[in-house]
Amino acid sequence: MNRTRQTTDKSKNRITALYERFSRDDELAGDSNSIVNQKKMLEDYAKSNGYTDLVHFTDDGYSGGNFDRPGWKEMLRQIEDGSIGTVIVKDMSRVGRDYLQVGFYTEVFFREKGVHFVAISNGVDSDINTSSEFAPFLNIMNEWYLRDCSRKIKAVLQAKGRDGKPITNNPPYGYIKDPEDKNHWLIDEEAAAVVRRIFRMAVEGIGPYQIARILTEEKVEKPSYYQAKRGYGCYKNRCDMSKPYEWAGVSVVRMLEKPEYMGDTVNFRTKKLSYKDKTAVRNDSDEIVVFTDTHEAIIDRKTWYMVQELRKTKRRINTEGETNPFVGKIFCADCGGKMHYRNEGKRAGRNWRGLPDGSVRTTPACYNCGNYNNSHDQSGKVCCSHNIQAKVIDQLVLETIQYACKSVRMDERAFVESIRSASEIREQSEAKKLKAALKHQEKRYAELDILLKKVYEDNALGRLPDKRYEMLSAGYEKEQAELEQSIKTCREQLTQYDEDTDRTEEFLALVHKYTDITELTPVIINEFVDMIVSY
């Protein structure tokens, strides 16, 4: 199509919009759809046909199924303002690949706004009525192309993800893609230092929103700004560059929850329900696939899991902006409930008659059973106070840690033997029962498999009525489901015993890390103490 432009009153003195779009879907079609080639084609056409006041509107990396594109939206805004008189595109697919949306813009919106529309390769010109006769069919074919590309890309990502390769386009903050292998991540030391600090603060008992406030006050670049500034990541086109240091607590939470920092690859966290809808929906846990040790870790596993445990318990901040590191670690020996911390308090003193005597009595900080004061536990019982002063806990824990460290330094071999001996004794008493229960449950599970097969065959051969078959099979399947959960629990408990034995080496490394412990800090408490039982 090559003709001299006939300027109408509506388009006179208005600019000519040259719109280009390129996405990952278009990579399958080769270089002909590249932004550079599109711009050249549009400029050549516009100049040879007498169009002036040319302005480019470009969307690079945006799918045709998505109309929430910055270049497209800006062009529509200027059309609404009456600034644009003509829109020229390479072909109809550049507008989009949703035939209903494309039809609305080209057949309704542009006409209502008096905009002249041209799709060069398809021979579509809104000033020539007959040129648009096949436009609806072109739009349908463009949408089919998008659907087909989406299906192919999904199949490729599934294969890649099941093979242990990361399917995310952008590594998390703290990592960059290996220039020699795009499926491998390298540590970005500058960002990794911030990640390590965030986890260190979490171990110290500082909450995510406190961490975010500290980083903001210290003017540490937030992840989106850091990545956008360096030209990588998904934020380079949509980061608010005017707020480089405004950390959000939710961002810190997400970082603390990422197994990727342990060196793992996590695939299929989310899915998209339709190629038309780019909204990500979280997958069920059984659909998420994790591959361990696929890249170098920024955070060791012990620290990562410690942080996950710490975050399970909410910690109140006192007037000095501090939290109690023992919260969530002290449990009642009788009911198993958590011991609650009570701050030091003051109250009016009273004489033997119960009347105020003008004195002030101080109540020391302490821990009480959470099921005390008519707060019933799951068994319906009311527990005793089990009051114990906080300074007593502090002293006992400090002395216990000091004694353990001293024992290791005096005779490491004897200490290791005592720990392993204690583990063996516990395994003989408790693990032996678990192993027997596990063996019995696995045997019964296998028996139920045989019974299910038998009732199915009896029903198929007419020896067992349908109603009876449904009742028996439902009962067997229910019992199997319960056994499956019980077997899983037994195995996890047995694994825990093995891990407890293996943790001896971890404890030794921890002792060697500290030369002399004279006072308790949140880090020391969280590293040395898993649980305290108060009698």
- List pLDDT tens digits, range 149-193: 667 777 777 888 888 888 888 899 999 999 999 889 999 999 999
Q: Quick one: average pLDDT of 494-504?
A: 64
Q: Which two tokens stand for residue 391?
A: 């300074």
Residue 28, pLDDT > 60, answer: no
Instruction: Report the distance separating Cα 19 and Cα 38, nearest Å.
Output: 9
pTM of the model: 0.58
Q: Is residue 515 classed as helix, strand or coil in its secondary structure? A: coil
Residue-level pLDDT at 163: 86
Instruction: Report the distance separating Cα 251 and Cα 104, nearest Å.
Output: 39
Cβ atoms 224, 239 nearer than 8 A: yes
Q: Quick one: average pLDDT of 13-18?
A: 90
Residue 464, pLDDT > 80, answer: yes
Q: Which two tokens stand for residue 172?
A: 């998390």
Residue-wise pLDDT for 105-154, tens only, equals: 988 899 999 999 999 988 888 888 765 556 666 667 666 666 666 677 77
When comparing pLDDT for 400 and 3, which is higher?
Answer: 400
User: What contacts 160, CB < 8 A, 6 or more positions away?
Assistant: 167, 183
Q: Quick one: average pLDDT of 216-222?
A: 94
Q: Quick one: average pLDDT of 98-107?
A: 85
Q: Quick one: average pLDDT of 75-99?
A: 91
Radius of gyration of the chain (CA): 34
Q: Quick one: average pLDDT of 15-29?
A: 77
Instruction: Report the distance separating Cα 325 and Cα 317, nearest Å.
Output: 11
DSSP string covering 428-475, please? Answer: IIIIHHHHHHHHHHHHHHHHHHHHHHHHHHHHHTTSS-HHHHHHHHHH
When comparing pLDDT for 426 and 525, which is higher?
Answer: 525
Instruction: Report the distance separating Cα 198 and Cα 204, nearest Å.
Output: 10
Residue-level pLDDT at 6: 46
Q: Quick one: average pLDDT of 396-425?
A: 82
Q: Quick one: average pLDDT of 288-296?
A: 91
When comparing pLDDT for 445 and 323, which is higher?
Answer: 445
Burial of 127 (0-12, 13-18, 19+ CB in 10 A): middle
Going by C-alpha positions, the residue among 155, 156, 196 that lies closest to residue 174 is: 196
Lowest mean pLDDT among 286-300, 377-391, 490-504: 490-504
Residue-wise pLDDT for 230-283, tens only, equals: 877 666 666 778 888 999 999 999 999 999 999 999 998 888 776 666 677 888
Lowest mean pLDDT among 212-216, 299-303, 320-324: 320-324
Q: Quick one: average pLDDT of 283-300?
A: 89
Residue-level pLDDT at 132: 58
